[in-house]
Structure 1
Amino acid sequence: MPANPKYLTQSKGQRFLKITAAILGGYFVSVTFHLALASWFNRVNVLITMAFTGFILWVALMVVAFLAKSGWKIWGIYLLLTLFFCGIIYLGQTNNPITK
């Protein structure tokens, strides 16, 4: 049974924004989240676990992007989350430097 057209996004711009937010934005949030965890916890364990949980989180963020009303809004949320996790990565690397 096909989707009801009244629920589909009519604007090509909004469709493009949602697709790019789902693919790129979801990936950025997923990777920075796991790198933020790796900067505070055991890096090896987190990065090995990222092979599985990173994909699951990325798919969940893709679904969220298509559920959003506005492509601009979901891009803004994903960029803010990415910047937030980048800040946590920075703090984790300054407070827990790698000793070799």
Structure 2
Amino acid sequence: MPANKKYLMQSGWAQASKIIASVLGSLIASFGFHLALSSYFWQTQIVATSLFSIYMLWAGLVIVVYWVKKPWMAWAILLPIIILSAIAIYIRLN
């Protein structure tokens, strides 16, 4: 039985944006979060456990990206995480 057309995305740009947000945006957000965390707390322990927890956080963010309906909403969730992590790292380094 084919999928109902009204539930599928019509725009190719929306599909591409959601795929990029799920793969690249989620990966950057999870790496940025762990880098910001390791710059303030126990660096060796966080780096050691981040080998596993980065991929768990990445999988969770991918699920969240596909859970929301609009691609701009997915970016609205990921970009604050990325920006706040970058600001935290910048403040710590200066």
Query: TM-score, normalised to structure 1's length?
Result: 0.81
Are residue 69 (structure 1) and residue 69 (structure 2) matched?
yes
Q: Which moved more, 1:51-60 or 1:71-80?
A: 71-80
| CA distance in 1: counterparts of 2:2 and 2:49, whole angstroms | 37
5+ residue gaps, structure 2, are none
Deviations 1:72-91 (A, max 9, x none): 23123312220111111122
The CA deviation string for residues 6-51 of structure 1, in whole angstroms up to 9 with x for no partner, is 3332321111110000001000100000001100111111111111
* Matching of residues 39-50 of structure 1 within 5 Å: 39-50=39-50
Larger mean CA deviation between 57-66 and 85-94 belongs to: 85-94
Q: Structure 1 residue 4: deviation in Å?
A: 4.6
**Separation of aligned partners in 2, 1:2 and 1:23:** 26
Q: Percent of counterpart pairs with the same letter?
A: 37
* Larger CA deviation: 80-89 vs 32-41: 80-89
- Please give the TM-score of this superposition, normalised by the length of structure 2: 0.86
Q: CA deviation at 1:56?
A: 0.4
Return 52-61 or 84-93, whichever deviates more.
84-93
Alignment pair present for 1:92 and 2:92: yes
How many residue pairs match? The answer is 94
Computed over aligned residues only, the root mean square deviation of the Cα atoms, in angstroms, reads 1.8
Offset, 1:3: 5.2
Q: Which runs of 5+ in 1 are unaligned?
A: 95-100
